[in-house]
Structure 1
Amino acid sequence: MEKRHIDPYEYASAITKANARGILLTTKAEGEVDTMVIGWGLIGTLWGKPTFTAFVRTSRHTHALLEKNPQFTINVPLDRLSKRIFAVAGTKSGRHVDKAELLGLTLANGSKVDVPAIAEAPITLECKVVYGQMMDRDAVPKATRERFYPADVTDVDASGSCYYHEIYYGEIVDSYVLE
């Protein structure tokens, strides 16, 4: 599998449009690979470096892996994610199932990070976390809290509140399309 290197900014529009439909964020720690569907993310510049900012709920297995290895890949399909990939990577936990194996995903070793790219979503951003920050619950507008962090969900932390997101700012250290 060849990697055709790209300028991530030239693909920013395509990445942003795909993100609204769902893209994959992949992590790897202690030999375990996990991928999940994300719909929130930003491509831009921070501290003079190209970055992808990802939002990961602290309850997710992906979050635990990112805490062990602060590297990730963003994997963007050329079209929409297949319904099967979306269904499994968007609903199953990596704590209980190896999603890459279950889906038969084709993994390609990262070039500058120890996290694979996914051939089925070939536009790849390799990222190293340069900063992480927990969302401030009190700073989230009430209407947003009610919509995205409802009180009646089962995914709650020890205080009984819905899990919020940690924001990971990842420097894009390599970017390419798998061909």
Structure 2
Amino acid sequence: MQFDTDIFAQFDKKWALLTAGGKEKFNTMTISWGGLGTLWGKPVATVYVRESRYTHEFMDREDYFTVSFYPESCRRTLGVLGSKSGRDMDKMHASGLTPKQAGKTMTFEEAEVTLVCRKLFRQKLDTASMPKDIAEKFYEGQSDHDMFIGEVVEILR
């Protein structure tokens, strides 16, 4: 597996979609926090999902998820998918993206690259262990994030 990219810009500047669930029922959300690397001798993707997000339910329940990256032409769509909840609307049809099965989970045809991940680990971020300025800026009055680590089992292009 090979994925050549500017890893710092990939999440922060380009954003990504995190998708979990199967063909019959899945949800996706835009993410700009994440990381790629090696852990426990495996290639991994790390993503962060607030407990309040609908996608969190899917991440808890499912064994697989995808992290997919898109061309700049999809930027507006990713903005909508990051600001609307699948609890309140049918984001899949409203987005204009084309769902596509990726192993035991889902991605979208428009993705430039999709990382198919097998969930290895989940842990709540402890705001009491964070620097105070970060905890205040990102968590005051908001739900906490859970960190999910997944083994990258396939890269789709």
Query: Under a length normalisation based on structure 1, what TM-score does the superposition of the two structures give?
Result: 0.80
Q: RMSD of the TM alignment (CA)?
A: 1.7
Sequence identity of aligned pairs in percent?
33
For the pair 1:18 / 2:16, whether they are aligned, the reply is: no
1:145 is aligned, of 111, 121, 135, to 135
**Post-superposition offset of 1:30:** 8.3
Match of 1:157 in 2: none
Q: Residue 121 of structure 1: SS of its match in structure 2?
A: coil
Mapping of residues 26-41 of structure 1, within 5 Å: 26-28=19-21, 31-41=24-34
Tell me the TM-score normalized by structure 2.
0.91
Deviations, residues 10-33 of structure 1 (Å, cap 9, x unaligned):
32x345412102211111158212
Task: State the alpha-carbon separation in 2 of the partners of residues 109 and 92 from structure 1.
Answer: 22
Deviations for 1:81-140, whole angstroms, at most 9, x for unmatched residues?
A: 321x123211101111121111121122113xx211212222000001101111012111
> Amino acid of the residue matched to residue 119 of structure 2?
V
Q: 1:109 is matched with which residue?
A: 101
Q: Distance in 1 between matches of 2:8 and 2:98?
A: 23
1:123 aligned onto 2:113 = yes
Say which SS state the counterpart of residue 94 (structure 1) adopts: coil
Residue identity opposite 1:40 in structure 2: W
What is the rounded CA distance, in whole Å, between the counterparts of 2:9 and 2:73 in structure 1? 10
Cα pair distance change 1:58/1:30, threshold 3 Å:
farther
Larger Rg: 1
Which runs of no fewer than 5 residues in structure 1 stay unpaired? 1-5, 152-161
Change (3 A) 1:30 1:78: closer
After TM superposition, the structure 1 = structure 2 runs for residues 1-179 of structure 1, keeping only pairs within 5 Å, are: 6-7=1-2, 10-11=3-4, 13-21=5-13, 22-28=15-21, 31-79=24-72, 81-83=74-76, 85-111=77-103, 114-151=104-141, 162-177=142-157
Gaps of 5+ in 2: none
Counterpart CA distance in 2 for 1:58 and 1:147 is 17
The count of aligned residue pairs is 156
Per-residue CA deviations over 1:155-179 (Å, capped at 9, x if unaligned) read xxxxxxx2111000000010021xx
